[in-house]
Amino acid sequence: MVTIREAREALKLYFGYEKFRPMQEQIIDTVLQQKDVVVLMPTGGGKSVCFQVPAVVLPGLCVVVSPLIALMKDQVEALLANGIPAAYLNSSLSAEQQYKTENECLEGKLKLLYVSPEKLLSSGFLSFLKRVNVSLFAVDEAHCISSWGHDFRPEYTQLKALKQQFPTTPVIALTATADKLTQKDIQEQLYLRDPAVFISSFDRPNINLMVKPGKDRFNRITDFLSRRHRQPGIVYCLSRKATESLANKLKASGYNATYYHAGMSAPQRARAQEAFLRDDVQIVCATIAFGMGIDKSNVRWVIHYNLPKNIEGYYQEIGRAGRDGASSEALLFYSFADVMNMRNMLQENESDQKQTELQLVKLERMQQFAEAAACRRRILLQYFGETMEKDCGNCDICRNPPTTFDGTLLAQKALSAVARTQEQANMGLLVDVLRGARNSQVLQAGFDKVKTYGAGRDVSTLDWNRYLHQMLNGGLLEMAYDQGYTLKLTEQSRQVLFEGRKVQLVKFEEVKQDEPAMKPR
Ligand code: ADP
Ligand code: ZN
């Protein structure tokens, strides 16, 4: 059996790194024991090494499934430059090139083969792989397999075939963003056998999180920029047109800005990207197409001109700031009009009713993050299943805390209603129960008979929604996307119900207008 010592030597020899990062070592050790592994690690955490090193030291070929065709070439070139024989197969190659690569696989000449899911599942490919000695399957961007995730790719669900066809070959699934349900889905859908799950912290404490009202955003941006002389940053915009017009407006105001979106030609995009990497241009106004695979460590700030569609996307985009660990900023503009626009956009695309519903709920979580009056980092991490011990001290809410009131009684009413409706009510229905509404849904379920029926009559529907979202954000409740968005109790809710834990709630107020104090740098 291959040992972790050999892996350490390979890390040094091929990658030039002195030692593994803490979690990498455990992960690789587990892979070498032929076990299935799930890795959740933020972008930049060092996921690639987790399968590339085993690929080098294990006999045979490691097959890497990745949806990012655009990045395959770069990754393979980087491996080749390190002296590791690697290749890729996807629809961009000629038949001749594919044939050559397949032959190299059969001759055992390659250590890593990157394939798109389409290629992997194309006819005859899996039987071809049976003639190759496959040491390991790595499924990158594994969240794409889950229809509960934010980037569902139907072709990924066919990856079930891997374990069916290769029951004894270990699988390592990796992702940088997956809420709790998606994490579970990855394991189930890939048929992983009792996998070891590694979750590294998603916290990026050096990024200051801020939300501001969307009113007058251009002036707010130039005001922000005037205090960040030449610091490189990205403004994410919703549409291609918006990236261009904002870049032009910024240029007209004397800033060194450019734009980037998927509608530009490849050379145009490369030029914009290069200029930003070399610090020739300070500001890129971009759609979310920008940033994937870009390794620029000194991005000092990220602005969201519009509300992102979901928290997963928001987290990934702000994560492009401050990779070097130095103090950085994420500024999000929030306006209700943006939410309405986004809702309309989602609803227009009615092809898949269930997906639309899910996207709307995710958007609502994003909206509640923007409206929230509790530590933003706490909310963000809770979303990915990580509970913080204390508030972060580096977000606008922590710096400028809102006044709270003792909401224990309200929380108890809500949680007890959740319990008494057997965790079968979604938010709308629960509010109806709390407010004692007599509609058919309530009556049919017999919820007018539960003890807490009408116990929260004195609070408006809107306020109940806000309080319940605060509770969700704080981990006092969970929402089961896969069970009709019903609300579920958590360990923390039990503490409130049975152990006298206190709950502070915030009365809703407009997002704060004033600029939070800047940290000295
Ligand atoms: P991810 O895929 O998680 O986004 P990468 O695998 O691209 O992250 O790694 C991020 C960066 O960290 C890369 O520049 C990589 O070379 C570097 N890196 C990874 N592992 C180590 C290590 N053990 N020691 C030093 N640098 C590392
Ligand atoms: Zn905070």
Q: Write the DSSP string, 49-77.
A: HHHHHHHHHSSSEEEEE-S-HHHHHHHHH
Q: Determine the distance separating the centroid of ligand 1 and the alpha carbon of 274, expressed in angstroms.
A: 21
Q: How far is Cα 141 from Cα 152, in angstroms, rounded to an integer?
A: 10
At 353 the pLDDT is 83
Closest ligand to residue 49's CA: 1
The residue nearest atom 27 of ligand 1, judged by CA position, is 46
**Can you tell me the distance from the alpha carbon of 71 to that of 91, in angstroms, rounded to the nearest whole number?**
13
Three-state DSSP at 511 gives coil
CB atoms under 10 Å from CB of 357, counted, come to 15
Q: Which atom of ligand 1 is nearest to the CA of 176?
A: 3
Q: What integer pLDDT is reported at residue 509 of this predicted model?
A: 53
Distance CA 410, CA 502 (A): 11
Nearest ligand by distance to the CA of 16: 1
Q: Which atom of ligand 1 is nearest to the CA of 24?
A: 23
183: its two tokens: 């994490």
CA distance 283 to 302: 10
- Within 8 A by CB and 6+ apart from 386, the residues are 199, 201, 202, 203
Q: What's the predicted TM-score (pTM) here?
A: 0.76
pLDDT of residue 112: 98
Which atom from ligand 1 is nearest to the alpha carbon of 43?
A: 4
Residue nearest atom 12 of ligand 1, based on CA coordinates: 46
Torsion angle of C-alpha atoms 8, 9, 10, 13, degrees rounded to 10: 130
What is the rounded CA–CA span in Å between residue 39 and residue 47? 8
Note whether 340 and 238 are within 8 A (CB).
Answer: no
Question: How many whole angstroms from 319 Cα to the centroid of ligand 1?
Answer: 15
Q: CB within 8 A of 172, min separation 6: which ones?
A: 27, 31, 36, 37, 38, 39, 50, 51, 54, 136, 137, 138, 139
For 276, phi then psi, to 5°, come to -70, -45
Atom of ligand 1 nearest to the CA of 47: 3
| DSSP 8-state secondary structure symbol assigned to residue 90 | -
Phi, psi of 481 (to 5 degrees): -55, -35
Helices marked H in 107-216 — which ranges?
A: 117-121, 125-130, 160-165, 180-189
Inter-CA distances, 189 with 120, 147, 224, 321, 457, Å: 16, 11, 45, 33, 43
Average pLDDT per block of 10 residues along the chain, 521 residues long: 94 96 95 96 90 98 91 93 96 91 96 95 93 97 88 88 95 90 91 93 93 94 94 96 98 97 94 95 95 85 96 93 94 90 84 85 91 91 87 96 92 97 96 96 94 94 91 89 91 94 78 38 33
Q: Residue 45 C-alpha to ligand 1 middle, in angstroms?
A: 6
Least distant ligand from the CA of 473: 2
Amino acid sitting at position 117: P
Euclidean distance between CA atoms 9 and 2, whole angstroms:
12
Residue 508 is predicted with a pLDDT of 64
Plot region of 60 (φ>0 → left; ψ -120 to 50 → alpha; else → beta): left
Q: What distance in angstroms lies between residue 402's CA and the mean position of ligand 2's atoms?
A: 12
From the CA of 319, the nearest ligand is 1
Residue nearest (by alpha carbon) to ligand 1 atom 20: 46
Pocket perturbation via mutation, ligand 1, pick of 17, 43, 198, 199 by most ligand atoms within 8 A of CB: 17
108 CA → ligand 2 middle, Å: 52
Ligand 1: residues within 6 Å at CB?
17, 20-21, 24, 41, 43-49
Residues, CB-to-ion distance under 5 Å, ligand 2:
375, 377, 391-392, 395, 398
